[in-house]
Amino acid sequence: MKILVCISHVPDTTSKINFTENDTKFDTNAVQFVINPYDEFGLTRAMWFKEKQGASVDVINVGGAETEPTLRKALAIGADNAIRINTEAKDGFQVAKELAKVAKEGNYDLVIAGRESIDYNGGMVPGMLAQLIGANFVNACTGLEIEDNKATIIREIDGGKETLSSSLPLVIGGQKGLVEESDLRIPNMRGIMMARKKPLNVVEPINATPQTEAAKFEKPAPKGEVKLIDPENLDELINLLHNEAKVI
């Protein structure tokens, strides 16, 4: 079985976010980038198929040379090959089009992507990719088993979970639950050394045209001031809640 795992290069959630050019561009200065957490769940599940069923695992990313450390980390975790499509990721449609060309040529049985990236939260790439390559698609996956060219998938729905079956090829949008958080892998020294020798192939883009562009970014309003009340002074607390906050 051939598996392709889509890897997004995203800011660490602890990074301080700023914008430049009149709030139209994301400022990458002093930002630590990591594998998109939803993609990391998918990569870990792919590693299970590699170890238990002998699957081959490729990872792929759309981005410039600055994204290669993230791909190298995926190789250190255990992926066999990495592919970088040499163009800036500008919107979901453009990314899906670029990924689709490689996915078609690679004739993959299973494509695993995170349900969304934690930077722009578009949630559109896996579904568009499935349509472009003519594969079945299941989103919000929390469970995946494959046996005899047939997949059994558990996905999250409103109020519960749904179990589906599908033939391959298949694209899934994975999320937390696809594997346990405790199963996520930290590259060890041996994996890091081996990753340096694994192929990282740079392919030129088809120059797909983005369908959207960011007009402006705006950060959330700062938190308001907090007024502390002595826990023994209930009368003052009630007075402030009634007359100032007007919640009672």
pTM of the full structure: 0.88
The pLDDT value given to residue 155: 95
Convert 115-143 to b/e letters by CB count within 10 Å (16 or more is b): bbbbbeeebbbbbbbbebbebebbbbbbb
Low-confidence ranges of the chain (pLDDT < 50): none
pLDDT tens readout for residues 94-116: 999 999 999 999 999 999 999 99
Assign 140 to helix, strand or coil. strand
DSSP letter string, 36-72: -HHHHHHHHHHHHHHHHH--EEEEEEES-GGGHHHHH
Q: Give the relative orientation of helices 68-77 and 37-53 as an angle to the nearest 10 degrees.
A: 40
Q: Count the neighbouring beta carbons within 10 Å of the beta carbon of residue 187.
A: 17
pLDDT tens readout for residues 148-182: 889 999 999 999 999 999 999 999 999 999 999 99
The pLDDT value given to residue 225: 83
Domains parsed from the chain with CATH numbers? 2-216 (3.40.50.620)
Nearest Cα residue to 198 out of 82, 102, 106, 86: 82
Query: Tokens at residue 31, please?
Result: 């930002």
The pLDDT value given to residue 40: 97
The pLDDT value given to residue 247: 85
Instruction: Tally the residues of the chain.
Output: 248
Q: Which residue has the tokens 């949630």?
A: 123
